Amino acid sequence: MGQDLFDLTGRRALVTGSSQGIGLALARGLANAGAEIVLNGRDAAKLAEAASGLGGSTHQLAFDATDHGAVRAAVDGFEAAIGAIDILVNNAGMQHRTPLEDFPADAFEQIMRTNISTVFNVGQAVARHMIKRQAGKIINIASVQTALARPGIAPYTATKGAVGNLTKGMATDWAKYGLQCNAIAPGYFDTPLNAALVADSAFSAWLEKRTPAGRWGKVDELVGACVFLASNASSFVNGHVLYVDGGITASL
């Protein structure tokens, strides 16, 4: 047992939104644990650049995760041509910061599609194949905002709350088929999505005081949680939201 519990050799992992940031870091971490990686994004050029950095037998699967039909076609085509997707990391997402009273309706619809519909679209498409095999791992990327709100991002908070509950729903429906469906909820990490906040010295100072660990997270610090949830080590973990946040949700 021991390290074998975390060995992903012989498994294939699809990571959505993986051309940069958290998605790329998780793809790299899963590859280092032995998994064969399928990168996803809408920009084929960015995907190719990310794949060149991973090396090995890395696949590139360009599709728009907000398009249900395109997702189904891409996943079904990949399974038929290449083989099984054993692990899915639903990472695609976006942020839009505006006070709620001024939040544009089109931006609200876009963030719902990007942060919630993608989890449903890709999760369903991949799960249909996993169910036939009676095995699979689905890891949804939630957020500290699954549990907490802060000013200016109410719709984002709503989407991440939905991701947490959709994860529980996936586990409730699909555990009987041998699937483990869980979520990772990152705290504040230094990523392209948070670039404006990282550059804001006042916000960074507030965050360091608010977070028991006293700092921003580094994306590589999410890898251990992802490998755990993707591996045999989590064979009886289902419907769980794992906060990786430096303690921010534990303290006032």
The set of catalytic residues is: 156
To 10 degrees, the CA torsion angle through 32, 37, 42, 48? 70
Count other C-beta atoms under 10 Å from residue 148's C-beta. Answer: 15
Structure tokens at 99: 């006070």
Distances (CA, A) of 96 to 16, 93, 106: 19, 11, 11
To 10 degrees, the CA torsion angle through 51, 9, 118, 130? 140
3-state secondary structure of 3: helix
Q: How far apart are CA 55 and CA 191, in angstroms?
A: 22
Q: How far apart are CA 95 and CA 149, in angstroms?
A: 14
Sheet with 59-62: strands ordered across: 59-62, 36-41, 12-15, 87-90, 136-141, 179-186, 241-244
Phi, psi of 217 (to 5 degrees): -80, 155
